Amino acid sequence: MATNSNTRIEWIDMAKGVGIFLVIAGHTFAYSNCDFIYAFHMPLFFFLSGLVFNDKRYDTFKEITVKKGKQLLFPWIIIYAISLCVTLLIPMWRANMSLKSMLFELYTMNTNTINNSSIWYLVCLFFVFVLYYPFQIVLKKVDDKYVILILLVLGLALLYQRPIYKGVLVKYDRLPMKFDTALVGLMFFYLAFRFKGFWMRLLNSTNVLWLMFSVLLFAVGVYFNGASNLNSLEFGNIPLIWYPTAFAGIYSTVSLCVIISRLSGKIISWFKDFLKYYGVNSLVIFGFQSLFIRLYIQFFNTSQGLNMELYGDNPSIHQWGSFLVVSLICSPLIVLLFTKLRKHGIRII
């Protein structure tokens, strides 16, 4: 979510902004209508992280682990603590809490007990960076064409990893703390990082015709593959087309941002700044949007006697309402809060 270069690339920040809106939309609109979002929105973030990663800043495994721990795990702790405090303040939420469920959720990283389940990504991305270091040492001297072959074989094998755990992890068929999701995320991260020059040339030469073709390819992939979810290691009806579909979605999003970045005009400039704002502040917004959505649902369930739920087929006015309130009101407010804290020397995220 955060770049590792002092020079920001406009279309990458814009792509992160689009990704943040997709995350919020995927949590506010009915899950059954969001197949196209879940097909690529989290791979998009892993890909962009690899695209901006600067390995020259880290000389040792310890250094990358410590620095990425500060960048990702410390914010996770802060966001977790704030979400826990908010949960304790709401009687209905507090009543559903238990120490057992909280401890188990530290294993699964599905932190529903504190009503903020999206922060798994911060831990997952940390593991991607941890995995990257030994991974790149092994592949550093391997020819690029063989690297592609290795990643292809490994990537396909990872699509079928979950059934294996059923014979090993009896009570829960997942590795701890989304480590298995990180293994898949590493494929997108490393492909973006290792072939950064290729991707930059491809994206900088993108045009409307290529964009239309990638959108069509993505739509066909989603249509045939159906629902998928990287978080839960669900890769659709035809897992073998999950990677091509995800990359088509990634390319469509990023190339669209590249094309927009070339345009000029007052409205276009405002729109670009709008997306960049969300991209630059993606970590803070991502960290709290799930909590805000649940607060929205809780407020209207209590005040109007509704029975809405996260990812549910809620009334359309509240699907759109929660999306707009969280995107355009709550997210800027939380960014403003942490910006003010930083100006006063309190830099916690």
Residue 263 pLDDT:
95
What are the phi and psi torsion angles at 303 (to 5°)? -80, -30
Q: Is the pLDDT of residue 22 over 90?
A: yes
Does residue 5 form part of some domain?
A: no
Does residue 3 form part of some domain?
A: no
Does residue 4 form part of some domain?
A: no
Residue 5 pLDDT:
45
Q: Is the pLDDT of residue 345 over 90?
A: no
Does residue 295 form part of some domain?
A: yes
CA 44 to chain centre: 7
Q: Which two tokens stand for residue 343?
A: 């100006």
Residue type, 176: P
> Total structural domains in the chain?
1
Helix (H, G, I), strand (E, B) or coil at 71: helix
Residue 173 pLDDT:
80
Q: Is the pLDDT of residue 2 over 60?
A: no
Range of the domain at 120: 10-341
Arithmetic mean of pLDDT, 200-213 = 93
Residue 167 pLDDT:
64
Whether the model pTM is above 0.85: yes
Does residue 84 form part of some domain?
A: yes
Residue 4 pLDDT:
43
Q: Is the pLDDT of residue 172 over 80?
A: no
Q: Is the pLDDT of residue 95 over 50?
A: yes
Arithmetic mean of pLDDT, 307-335 = 97
Arithmetic mean of pLDDT, 260-277 = 96
Of the pLDDT bands very low, low, confident and very high (cuts 50, 70, 90), residue 169 is low
Work out the percent of the chain whose per-residue pLDDT is above 90.
88
Helix (H, G, I), strand (E, B) or coil at 250: helix
Handedness of CA 63, 344, 114, 15 (dihedral sign): negative
Does residue 322 form part of some domain?
A: yes
Arithmetic mean of pLDDT, 136-141 = 91
Arithmetic mean of pLDDT, 103-112 = 93
Cα separation of 349 and 77, whole Å? 10
Q: Is the pLDDT of residue 6 over 60?
A: no
Does residue 347 form part of some domain?
A: no
Cα separation of 286 and 290, whole Å? 8
Does residue 30 form part of some domain?
A: yes
Q: What is the pLDDT of residues 214-225, one digit of tens each?
A: 999 999 999 999
**Which residues does 181 contact at the CB level (< 8 Å), separation at least 6?**
120, 124, 230, 231, 233
* Vertex 260: Cα angle to 256 and 264 (nearest 5): 170
